[in-house]
C-alpha cells in the first residue's frame, strides 16, 4: 500500500495566472532557501565530511514530491511507493536503506530526512536533506567495507520511520540507531543539523505562502517545473538523435579479486522522449561495489550535465523527468538485488558521468568531454591515540577534471562541483597525522589541445598506530581522451614505512595497519585530454612547464621541445610535431589507452606497480540470473 497523506483541509489548489515578476521572485526566494539550508547544515554539523566537504544534499519539492530546487534529484516517488503508513503534519521521516526507496539514496551512510510542509491543514511542499555519516556501524570503521557480501555487514539499517511524529522526536529510535555507531556524538550533531536545515526550508515556504498566497506559491512551483521541462525538452531534441548510440566503460575491479565490470548503455530518442537502456551491463558483484542506480537519480545526473553544458541559468529541477526513460536490468551491478552490499558504490557513481559524456558526445564530437569524473576516492584512518581517545577520519579525495571543449580541466578537483577539500590545517589539528605533500601530479593530465586536469598527490604521515582504508579506481583503465586528446594517468597508492621499506597498495583495501612514521602517498588519476595536442600553443605548453603542471619530458607528448629553463626550440618543435602527427595517423574519437587485455599486460609490467598487489583479475562472468539470497551468503 502506498503512503496515505492526511490533511485536515482538502480544499483543492487553484491555478493562478501569475505575472512573470512574481514568478521570478518566488523562484529566487526558493533558490536562496536552498542555499540557506546548506548554510545551516554546514555551520552546525560536526563531521568533516559534512562540515568541511559538504557531503550533503538539500531539496525543496512541491506537494507531489517533485524537486523544485535542490541538488540530488527527487526522493519522494520511491519513498511514498514503499512506505505504507500515514503522512501527517509535524512528521519527519528518516531512512538510510537504499532498497526501501529504490536507490534514491545509494548506501547506508547517507541518512535521508523528509518533512511534509503544511499550511492551514494542506500539504503544500516537502523539504528534504541527506548527509553522509562518517560511521553507522558495520564491520570496519567508516562503514564502507570493500569485502562486504551483504548489506548486513555495512552497518545499521533504518527503514523509513517517523523520527518525529506530529512534531515530537522519537528519542528511543534515535538512541537505538546511535548505539550502533562508532561516533554517536558526531551522528547526533549531524542529525540535528539536518533537522535544522529542514526547519529552515519549512520557515521559508511558510513565509512565501504568507507573502504571495498559498495558491500563488503552489502555482509558481508548478510553473518553475514547466519552465525546466520546456528548456530541457528543446535541449534533448537538439542533442539526442533518433538513431541508437552505444557506449561502454569499466570499473577496474571489485576489491575481492574479480573484474573489470562493464557498464553498457544505449541511447536514442523516440519523439520527445530520450531512452537510456543499460542492457549489456555486467551482473552484480559479490562485493560492495554495486550501485543501486535510482532512475530518478540518473535523470538528475543528466539534467545537471546538460544544464551546466548548455545554459547554467536554467533552474535545475524535476520538470523534465517524464521526457526521459531509464531502463536498468534487474540483477546487474547497477540494479542489484537485496541484500547485495552497496557501501562502496562510489566508483560506479562517478563512472556514470563518463558514460553520459561518451554517449551524449557521439552525435556532436565538438561538444564531447573527455573522461575524468571517474570516481570519488575515499580515505579512512582510525584508532586510539596516546590518550586512549578514539579518532576516525573519513575524507573524499580529488582527481583530475577532464579536458573540455571550453578549455583545460581543473587540476585536483572534486567529482561534485559543490564539494570542497578538508583543509590540511583542520586535518592536522583534529587527527594524529601530518600532511607531508599536497600537490598536483605533473604530466598526469592527458595531453590535448585542452589539457586534462592533473591528479592530486597527498602524503599522509601517521603519528599514531591505527588502521586505514583506501577506496579508489582507475588503477587499470585510463580516463580516456577524445578528439585526439590522450588518456589521463592512472591512480597509484604508495606506502613508505617508517623503516624505509616501500609497498604499492591495492586501490581497494581495508584494515591496513599503520604505525607512527609511516607515510601513505595517495595519488589520484588525471583527466583525459581534449583535442589534438600538436595544435596546442607551444607557449601554453611552456607556461604549463614553468608552473610545474607538466615536465620537460612531458612537453614532448605535445611535440614541444623545451630547454631546461622552458625556452621553446621552435624549429625542433615544428619538426617533431610533423613527425609525430605522421606516425599517429588517423585521429579516433576516443583514446582508451589500449584494450583491457593490453592494459592488464602493461600494468603487470609497469615498474610503478608491484604485480602481486594489483592482481590480474579474473573476469566476473556471473550467472544469467542473479544469485539468490542463499547463494549471495556464500
Cell numbers linked to 342: 552497496
- Grade residue 631 by pLDDT with cuts at 50, 70 and 90: very low
| Statement: residue 615 has pLDDT above 60 | no
What strand order describes the sheet that includes 92-95?
67-70, 56-62, 122-132, 110-119, 92-95, 161-165, 168-169
Q: How far is CA 235 from the centre of its chain?
A: 24
Exposure of 102 in the CB half-sphere (CA atoms within 13 A): 18
Cell numbers linked to 477: 583503465
Helices (H), 213-361: 214-239, 295-310, 346-360
Q: What percent of the chain has pLDDT over 90?
A: 79
Pairing state between β 86-87 and 4-5 = parallel
Cell numbers linked to 352: 556514470
- Grade residue 104 by pLDDT with cuts at 50, 70 and 90: confident
Please spell the DSSP secondary structure of 512-541, one letter per residue.
EEE-TT-EEEEEPPPPPPBS-GGGS-HHHH
Per-residue pLDDT, averaged over 422-426, amounts to 93
| pLDDT digits 0-9 by tens, 125-140 | 999 999 999 999 999 9
| pLDDT digits 0-9 by tens, 450-481 | 999 999 999 999 999 999 999 999 999 999 99
260 upstream amide cis, omega within 30 of 0? yes
Cβ atoms of 419 and 412 closer than 8 Å: no
Distance CA 72, CA 105 (A): 9
For the ranges 44-48, 402-406, 421-425, 622-626, the lowest mean pLDDT is seen at: 622-626
- Grade residue 72 by pLDDT with cuts at 50, 70 and 90: low
Per-residue pLDDT, averaged over 396-421, amounts to 85
- Grade residue 630 by pLDDT with cuts at 50, 70 and 90: very low
| pLDDT digits 0-9 by tens, 140-165 | 999 999 999 999 999 999 999 999 99
Distance CA 360, CA 407 (A): 19
| pLDDT digits 0-9 by tens, 20-32 | 999 999 999 999 9
Chain position carrying cell 567529482: 415
Which of 253, 248, 146 has its CA nearest to residue 490? 253
Q: What is the pLDDT of residue 607?
A: 53
For 252-293, where are the E strands, in sequence order? Answer: 261-270, 273-277
597 upstream amide cis, omega within 30 of 0? no
CB atoms within 10 A of CB 90: 13
Q: How far is CA 559 from the centre of its chain?
A: 35
* 627 compared with 271, residue with greater pLDDT: 271
Distance CA 378, CA 132 (A): 13
For the ranges 187-201, 407-421, 618-632, the lowest mean pLDDT is seen at: 618-632
How is residue 589 annotated by DSSP? S
| Statement: residue 616 has pLDDT above 50 | no
* 428 compared with 1, residue with greater pLDDT: 428
| Statement: residue 561 has pLDDT above 90 | yes
Contacts of 88 (CB under 8 A, 6+ apart): 6, 116, 165, 166
- Grade residue 336 by pLDDT with cuts at 50, 70 and 90: very high
Q: What is the pLDDT of residue 81?
A: 77
Cell numbers linked to 500: 624505509
* Beta partners for residue 270, in sequence order: 273
Dihedral of CA 621/284/482/494: which sign? negative
Write the burial class of residue 595 (CB in 10 Å: 0-12 exposed, 13-18 middle, 19+ buried). Answer: exposed
Q: What is the pTM of this model?
A: 0.92
Write the burial class of residue 570 (CB in 10 Å: 0-12 exposed, 13-18 middle, 19+ buried). Answer: exposed
Cβ atoms of 440 and 421 closer than 8 Å: no
Cβ atoms of 466 and 349 closer than 8 Å: no
Q: How far is CA 314 from the centre of its chain?
A: 22
Please spell the DSSP secondary structure of 156-207, one letter per residue.
----SEEEEETTEE-HHHHHHHHHT-S-HHHHHHHHHHHHHHHHHHHHHHHH
Per-residue pLDDT, averaged over 594-601, amounts to 82
Instruction: Look at residue 599 and give its three-state secondary structure.
Output: helix
Cβ atoms of 235 and 310 closer than 8 Å: yes
- Grade residue 605 by pLDDT with cuts at 50, 70 and 90: low
Per-residue pLDDT, averaged over 8-18, amounts to 94
- Grade residue 374 by pLDDT with cuts at 50, 70 and 90: confident
Q: What is the pLDDT of residue 532?
A: 97
| pLDDT digits 0-9 by tens, 86-99 | 999 999 999 999 99
| pLDDT digits 0-9 by tens, 225-249 | 999 999 999 989 988 989 999 999 9
Average pLDDT, the chain: 91
- Grade residue 73 by pLDDT with cuts at 50, 70 and 90: low
What strand order describes the sheet that includes 492-496?
433-440, 456-462, 519-523, 492-496, 502-504
- Grade residue 177 by pLDDT with cuts at 50, 70 and 90: very high
Contacts of 514 (CB under 8 A, 6+ apart): 381, 462, 465, 466, 467, 468, 495, 520
CA distances to 55, 305, 374, 380 from 351, rounded to whole Å, are 18, 13, 5, 22
- Grade residue 613 by pLDDT with cuts at 50, 70 and 90: very low
Backbone angles phi, psi at 355, to 5 degrees: -60, -50
Give buried/exposed letters for 487-512 (b at 16+ CB in 10 A, else e). bbbbbbbbbbeeeeeeebbbbbbbeb
Per-residue pLDDT, averaged over 283-309, amounts to 89
For 271-422, where are the E strands, in sequence order? Answer: 273-277, 324-327, 378-384, 390-396
Which of 526, 523, 287, 232 has its CA nearest to residue 401? 526
Chain position carrying cell 569485502: 147
Distance CA 224, CA 367 (A): 28
Chain position carrying cell 541538488: 71
- Grade residue 45 by pLDDT with cuts at 50, 70 and 90: very high
Q: What is the pLDDT of residue 621?
A: 36
How is residue 100 annotated by DSSP? G
| pLDDT digits 0-9 by tens, 495-518 | 999 999 999 999 999 999 999 999
Q: How many residues does the chain have?
A: 634
For 72-109, where are the E strands, in sequence order? Answer: 86-87, 92-95
| Statement: residue 327 has pLDDT above 70 | yes
Which of 305, 245, 608 has its CA nearest to residue 457? 608
Q: What is the pLDDT of residue 537?
A: 97
Cell numbers linked to 514: 599503520
- Grade residue 77 by pLDDT with cuts at 50, 70 and 90: confident
CB atoms within 10 A of CB 420: 14
Amino acid at each position: 500500500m502506498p503512503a496515505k497523506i492526511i490533511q485536515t483541509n482538502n480544499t483543492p489548489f487553484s491555478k493562478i495566472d501569475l505575472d512573470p515578476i512574481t514568478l521570478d521572485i518566488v523562484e529566487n526566494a526558493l533558490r536562496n532557501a536552498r542555499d540557506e539550508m546548506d548554510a545551516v547544515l554546514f555551520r552546525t554539523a560536526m563531521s568533516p565530511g559534512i562540515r568541511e566537504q559538504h557531503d550533503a544534499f538539500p531539496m525543496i519539492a512541491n506537494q507531489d514530491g517533485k524537486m523544485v530546487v535542490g541538488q540530488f534529484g527527487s526522493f519522494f516517488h520511491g519513498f511514498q511507493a514503499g512506505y505504507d503508513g500515514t503522512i501527517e503534519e509535524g512528521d519527519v521521516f528518516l531512512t538510510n536503506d537504499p532498497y526501501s526507496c529504490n536507490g534514491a539514496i545509494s548506501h547506508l551512510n547517507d541518512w535521508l530526512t523528509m518533512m511534509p510542509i503544511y499550511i492551514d491543514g494542506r500539504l503544500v511542499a516537502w523539504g528534504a536533506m541527506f548527509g553522509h555519516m562518517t560511521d553507522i556501524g558495520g564491520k570496519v570503521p567508516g562503514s564502507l567495507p570493500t569485502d562486504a557480501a551483504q548489506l548486513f555487514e555495512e552497518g545499521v539499517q533504518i527503514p523509513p520511520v517517523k523520527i518525529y511524529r506530529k512534531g515530537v522526536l522519537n528519542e528511543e529510535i534515535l538512541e537505538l540507531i546511535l548505539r550502533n555507531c562508532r561516533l554517536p556524538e558526531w551522528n547526533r550533531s549531524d542529525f540535528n543539523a539536518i533537522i535544522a536545515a529542514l526547519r529552515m526550508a519549512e520557515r521559508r515556504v511558510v513565509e512565501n505562502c504568507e507573502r504571495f498566497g498559498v495558491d500563488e506559491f503552489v502555482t509558481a512551483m508548478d510553473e518553475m517545473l514547466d519552465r525546466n521541462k520546456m528548456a530541457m525538452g528543446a535541449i534533448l531534441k537538439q542533442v539526442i538523435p533518433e538513431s541508437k548510440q552505444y557506449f561502454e566503460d569499466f570499473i577496474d575491479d571489485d576489491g575481492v579479486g574479480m573484474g573489470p565490470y562493464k557498464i553498457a548503455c544505449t541511447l536514442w530518442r523516440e519523439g520527445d522522449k530520450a531512452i537510456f537502456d543499460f542492457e549489456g551491463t555486467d551482473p552484480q558483484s559479490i562485493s560492495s561495489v554495486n550501485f543501486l542506480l535510482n532512475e530518478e537519480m540518473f535523470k538528475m545526473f543528466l539534467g545537471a550535465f546538460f544544464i551546466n553544458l548548455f545554459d547554467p541559468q536554467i533552474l535545475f529541477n524535476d520538470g523534465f523527468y517524464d521526457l526521459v526513460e531509464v531502463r536498468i536490468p534487474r540483477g546487474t551491478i547497477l540494479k542489484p538485488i537485496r541484500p547485495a552490499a552497496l557501501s562502496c558504490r562510489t566508483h560506479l557513481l562517478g563512472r556514470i558521468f563518463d558514460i553520459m559524456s561518451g554517449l551524449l558526445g557521439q552525435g556532436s564530437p565538438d561538444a564531447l568531454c573527455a573522461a575524468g569524473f571517474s570516481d570519488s576516492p575515499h580515505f579512512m584512518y582510525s584508532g586510539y591515540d596516546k590518550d586512549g581517545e578514539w579518532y576516525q577520519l573519513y575524507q573524499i579525495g580529488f582527481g583530475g577534471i577532464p579536458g573540455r571543449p571550453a578549455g583545460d580541466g581543473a587540476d585536483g578537483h572534486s567529482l561534485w562541483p559543490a564539494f570542497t577539500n578538508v583543509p590540511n590545517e583542520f586535518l592536522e589539528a583534529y587527527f594524529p597525522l601530518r600532511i607531508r605533500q599536497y600537490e598536483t601530479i605533473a604530466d598526469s593530465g592527458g595531453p590535448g589541445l585542452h589539457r586534462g586536469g592533473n591528479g592530486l598527490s597527498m602524503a599522509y604521515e601517521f603519528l599514531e598506530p591505527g588502521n586505514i582504508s583506501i577506496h579508489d579506481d582507475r588503477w587499470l583503465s585510463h580516463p580516456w581522451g577524445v578528439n585526439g586528446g590522450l588518456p589521463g594517468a592512472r591512480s597509484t597508492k604508495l606506502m613508505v614505512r617508517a623503516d624505509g621499506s616501500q609497498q604499492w597498495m591495492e586501490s581497494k583495501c581495508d584494515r591496513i595497519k599503520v604505525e607512527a612514521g609511516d607515510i601513505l602517498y595517495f595519488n589520484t588519476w588525471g583527466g583525459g585530454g581534449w583535442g589534438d595536442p600538436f595544435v596546442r600553443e607551444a607557449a601554453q605548453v611552456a607556461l604549463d612547464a614553468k608552473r610545474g603542471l607538466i615536465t620537460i619530458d612531458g612537453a614532448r607528448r605535445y611535440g614541444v621541445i623545451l630547454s631546461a629553463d622552458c625556452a621553446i626550440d621552435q624549429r625542433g618543435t615544428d619538426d617533431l610535431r610533423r613527425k609525430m602527427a605522421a606516425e599517429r595517423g588517423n585521429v579516433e574519437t576516443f583514446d582508451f589507452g589500449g584494450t583491457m587485455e593490453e592494459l592488464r599486460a602493461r600494468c603487470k609490467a609497469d615498474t610503478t606497480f608491484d604485480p602481486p598487489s594489483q592482481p590480474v583479475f579474473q573476469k566476473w562472468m556471473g550467472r544469467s540470473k542473479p544469485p539468490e539470497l542463499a547463494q549471495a551468503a556464500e
